[in-house]
């Protein structure tokens, strides 16, 4: 395969450093056009900001008047009246009745990070009020996703008077009907897409239900849960519910909201961004005993960042729900016992290592399956689907995620380890709504059940219907996938040398963070830097060192690049110059912060230049 390539494109847009076909097959283009550069200049002059920070803000659509507020987002300014969400007032009135009437509240949560954080949020809130609750996280293998009739009946037998389902329940028709039949009131707090028909519940608080006009559909379930608790505090205050005790400190619980928001990969814009900014402040105080224990076993050094939440802490919490005991994560996030926290964190860390081994083997098999089907270098079409009788159902989402990265298409992985009904998970690419497509497949009778949101979905499918499912989704997604996959542009925020990548520089651009889904990290291009060192390390990563012409150097890493075109180019270029693009971060290993580049792409300067 030819790495890199340079020529004048058939466009008025000039490629950055002349790169039109990089190792990743990308065209490098400046993020800011002429209008954007003018806006950056205006932001710089109006607010007295550094030029690069002004450019980063303008490149993410921050207006001149909004720049100051954007750099210091506050919950107070960005949080709406919770009552704008459909059914919110009905829900909090019923929960307030339960709190003041000493009713027993049961919480049914999802087994992922967002669900665990939501459960811990409510459990801590109620615990502050002296109202211990019953919690249940379903086993992924024996119960599946969402509430089920047997668990509902068990919670009722344990004394539940009111049931809250968190990060699930919008599609729980059978289970919620069972709850109603035994006199158990249910309130659903969720964020997954749902159809016009709604399950029987006292209230269904979900900004993604079709009759909700709040505009808050970008919130994770833990964000919706936070709004429920804010509204509940207001209602209890109105009723005199805090006359004999203090109100729960909701802002002190934003560490949980930040964790669930980042881990669920919802857009870090608006209120979500404020949740994460302020939640990181709470996280760095390490007041949550469970999170503090988890950061210790994860060997996390320095201040907690969104990267740590998404790639170090989140996967460990998820490991319980994937291949271990589903409730471990919620218990860890809820406990105030240091000994229990240390034990739970150690178990989750062990399960995460086991999960990594299972995942590596399964991903290799899944990729080989797709390659065999489409041929080496072949076009997989609008999506890829892989299935096996041997995969643990708890890792199908991870397999799908890796297939999506490898093939740059929406991807599904299906496990038939339990027989003829497979458990599947899908991951999408930007611009392709997977959740609505899966719901349509349910309505068409192809799936046993399924749902999700734009970027991720879960489903159950009978083995004979797999080919029908693939055909249905391929037809439905073809146009949007063609548009999304056809855009191979890598937007560059600036060109710089290794010498300019200082701790002060990274701290300056981090003022516009945190970065993540919907709020892209700044990407910088480093022209013709010599690859002084490169080697494969860990789980398929490539670690390297870049040296500029002036002798300055920069440590770098390309995650999961080994065996891919990017990794092949980096490893073959030892001692030679490459154009390299990536995002800058601070590594706090051994205490002192040092700048590191996360390599996203590279190109050979010599190719195509005559």
pLDDT digits (tens, 9 = 90+) for 223-267: 999 999 999 999 999 999 998 889 999 999 999 999 999 999 999
Nearest to residue 119, comparing CAs of 179, 189, 175, 180? 189
Tell me the mean pLDDT in the region 564-572: 95
CB 228 within 8 A of CB 88: yes
CB 94 within 8 A of CB 185: yes
Q: Give pLDDT tens digits for 88-121.
A: 999 999 999 999 999 999 999 999 999 999 999 9
Tell me the mean pLDDT in the region 497-525: 95
Burial (CB < 10 A; 0-12, 13-18, 19+), residue 536, is middle
- pLDDT of res. 245: 87
Phi-psi region of 48 (alpha: psi -120 to 50; beta: other; left: phi over 0): left
Does the structure show a pLDDT above 60 at 514? Answer: yes
Does the structure show a pLDDT above 50 at 341? Answer: yes
Confidence of residue 4 (pLDDT cuts 50, 70, 90): very low
Domains and CATH numbers, the chain: 16-31+493-603 (2.40.50.140), 77-350 (3.90.1640.30), 379-488 (3.10.310.30)
- pLDDT of res. 587: 87
- pLDDT of res. 517: 87
- pLDDT of res. 144: 85
Does the structure show a pLDDT above 70 at 403? Answer: yes
Tokens of 407: 């093939």
Neighbour order of strands in the sheet with 203-205: 134-136, 105-109, 162-166, 185-189, 203-205
Tell me the mean pLDDT in the region 202-216: 97
Does the structure show a pLDDT above 80 at 11? Answer: no
This prediction has a pTM of 0.91
Does the structure show a pLDDT above 50 at 348? Answer: yes
- C-alpha torsion sign, points 477, 479, 483, 485: positive
Does the structure show a pLDDT above 90 at 153? Answer: yes
Does the structure show a pLDDT above 90 at 209? Answer: yes
Confidence of residue 7 (pLDDT cuts 50, 70, 90): very low
Q: Give pLDDT tens digits for 282-324.
A: 998 899 999 999 999 999 888 899 999 999 999 999 999 999 8
> In the 8-state DSSP scheme, what is residue 13?
S
């Amino acid at each position: 395969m030819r790495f890199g390539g340079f020529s004048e494109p058939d466009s008025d847009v000039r490629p950055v450093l002349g790169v039109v076909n990089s190792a990743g097959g990308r065209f490098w283009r400046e993020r800011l056009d002429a209008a954007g550069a003018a806006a950056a200049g205006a932001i710089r002059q109006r607010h007295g900001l550094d030029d690069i920070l002004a450019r980063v803000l303008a490149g993410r659509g921050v207006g001149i008047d909004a720049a100051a507020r954007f750099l210091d987002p506050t919950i107070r300014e960005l949080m709406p009246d919770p009552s704008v969400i459909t059914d919110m007032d009905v829900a909090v009135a019923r929960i307030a009745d339960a709190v003041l009437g000493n009713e027993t509240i049961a919480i049914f949560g999802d087994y992922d990070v967002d669900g665990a954080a939501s459960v811990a949020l409510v459990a801590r809130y109620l615990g502050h009020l002296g109202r211990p609750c019953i919690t249940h996280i379903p086993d992924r293998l024996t119960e599946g996703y969402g509430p089920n009739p047997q668990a509902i009946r068990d919670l009722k037998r344990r004394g539940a008077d009111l049931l809250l389902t968190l990060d699930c329940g919008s599609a729980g028709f059978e289970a919620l009907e069972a709850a109603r039949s035994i006199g158990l009131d249910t309130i659903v707090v969720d964020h997954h897409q749902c159809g016009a028909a709604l399950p029987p519940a006292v209230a269904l608080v979900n900004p993604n239900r079709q009759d909700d006009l709040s505009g808050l559909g970008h919130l994770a379930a833990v964000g919706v849960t936070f709004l429920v608790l804010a509204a509940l505090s207001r209602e209890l205050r109105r009723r005199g519910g805090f006359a004999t005790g203090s109100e729960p400190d909701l802002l002190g619980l934003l560490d949980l909201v930040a964790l669930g928001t980042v881990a669920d990969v919802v857009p870090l814009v608006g209120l979500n961004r404020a949740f994460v900014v302020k939640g990181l402040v709470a996280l760095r105080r390490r007041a949550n005993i469970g999170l503090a224990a988890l950061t210790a076993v994860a060997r996390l050094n320095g201040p907690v960042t969104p990267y740590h939440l998404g790639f170090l802490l989140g996967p460990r919490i998820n490991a319980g729900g994937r291949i271990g005991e589903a409730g471990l994560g919620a218990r860890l996030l809820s406990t105030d016992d240091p000994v229990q926290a240390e034990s739970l964190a150690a178990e989750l860390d062990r399960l995460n290592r086991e999960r990594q081994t299972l995942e590596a083997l399964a991903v290799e098999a899944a990729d080989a399956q797709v390659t065999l089907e489409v041929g080496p270098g072949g076009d997989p079409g609008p999506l890829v689907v892989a299935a096996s009788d041997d995969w643990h159902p708890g890792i199908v989402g991870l397999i799908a995620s890796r297939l999506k990265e490898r093939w740059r298409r929406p991807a599904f992985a299906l496990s038939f380890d339990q027989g003829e009904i497979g458990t599947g998970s899908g991951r999408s690419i930007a611009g392709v709504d997977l959740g609505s497509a899966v719901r349509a497949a349910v309505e068409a009778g192809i799936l046993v059940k399924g749902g999700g949101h734009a970027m991720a979905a879960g489903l159950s499918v009978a083995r004979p219907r797999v080919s029908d499912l693939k055909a249905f989704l391929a037809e439905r997604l073809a146009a949007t996938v063609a548009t999304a996959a056809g855009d191979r542009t890598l937007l560059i925020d600036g060109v710089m040398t290794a010498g300019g990548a200082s701790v002060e520089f990274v701290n300056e651009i981090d003022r516009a963070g945190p970065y993540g889904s919907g709020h892209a990290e700044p990407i910088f291009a480093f022209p013709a830097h010599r690859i002084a060192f490169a080697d494969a390390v860990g789980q398929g990563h490539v670690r390297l060192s870049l040296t500029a012409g002036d002798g300055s150097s920069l440590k770098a890493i390309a995650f999961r690049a080994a065996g891919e075109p990017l990794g092949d180019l980096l490893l073959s270029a030892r001692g030679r110059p490459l154009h390299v693009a990536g995002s800058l971060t601070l590594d706090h290993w051994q205490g002192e912060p040092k700048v590191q580049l996360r390599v996203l792409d590279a190109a050979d300067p010599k190719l195509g230049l005559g």
